[in-house]
Amino acid sequence: MAPDRLTQIRRYLYLNGATGVHELAEKVDASLATIRRDLQRLEEQGIIIRTHGGATIADSVGLEIAFEARENQNLEDKRAIADAAFAMLRPNTAIFLDAGTTVLQLARRLRLDPMPLTVFSNNISVAEALMGLDHIQVILLGGRVRQSNRSVVGALSEQVIEGLWFDQLYLGASAVQPDYTIATPDSDEASLNAAMLKHSSERYLLVDSGKFGRHSTYRVGRLDQITQIFTDAHLSEEWIARMQQLNIPLTQPENLVESIA
């Protein structure tokens, strides 16, 4: 079934950023008056923000400067990765969305097309992105707030994880190291992420290709613990061959900027 017009508009704004009404009208084959009414409806739902002559997807405000800078790096690739990972979600399951910036894009993608889910997270921005949706129950872990990425970490968070089990985990990473380990610069985050891996049935790693071959201080886990990797189309042939040797499914979505289908 072809997506309805509002879904097309949401998807196009999500993938392309701020867009003028004339461009939207052309992309979805509708009149300017119709597009303006649609944008008003989407703004009332908190999904978009109307701008002078157009609209953009509504993002949570008040992000830490460092987090916002990381979030906007390779944004186009991160949104393509998130869009591909979105296909793995199943209604009526319990999932964990961690504090990675690519995982945050998955939360924002989910807001565009919500489904019945219980979503656990240790990221304030993820919780904000999914607030107010009727069919999604959001559970934010307690603990120490790590301001650089708006995550919640520490012993209290780990205690909560020990009593839980998740159907799916969506995990980001600061580094995928040459020895096939996943790593992060914060010890508490590494410990919490390791606990997530141990308490999840399916484990999806969402990382842009720039993270492969990097090093970071604290080890989270091994790539052979991962069910499937989602990355961008720029991953090197060497790393593609390495993933094939490990027999880890690898998904590399093409750039989706031009698509609203």
Q: What is the per-residue pLDDT for 151?
A: 84
Tokens matching residue 208: 């842009």
Q: What is the per-residue pLDDT for 165?
A: 97
- Is residue 257 over pLDDT 90? no
Of the two residues 55 and 68, the one the predictor is more confident about is 55
Q: What is the per-residue pLDDT for 81?
A: 95
The Cα–Cα gap between 114 and 98 comes to 18
Chain-centroid distance of CA 14 in Å reads 12
Report residue 3's pLDDT band, with 50, 70 and 90 as the boundaries: low
pLDDT above 90 covers a percentage of the chain that reads: 70
Numbers of helices and strands, H then E, in the chain: 10, 15
Of the two residues 42 and 192, the one the predictor is more confident about is 192
Comparing 44-53, 152-161, 188-197, 211-220, the range with the smallest average pLDDT is: 44-53
Report residue 146's pLDDT band, with 50, 70 and 90 as the boundaries: confident
Report residue 72's pLDDT band, with 50, 70 and 90 as the boundaries: low
Q: What is the per-residue pLDDT for 105?
A: 94
pLDDT digits (tens, 9 = 90+) for 21-65: 999 999 999 999 999 999 988 887 777 888 888 888 775 422 333
Report residue 179's pLDDT band, with 50, 70 and 90 as the boundaries: very high
CB neighbours (10 Å) of residue 88?
Answer: 16
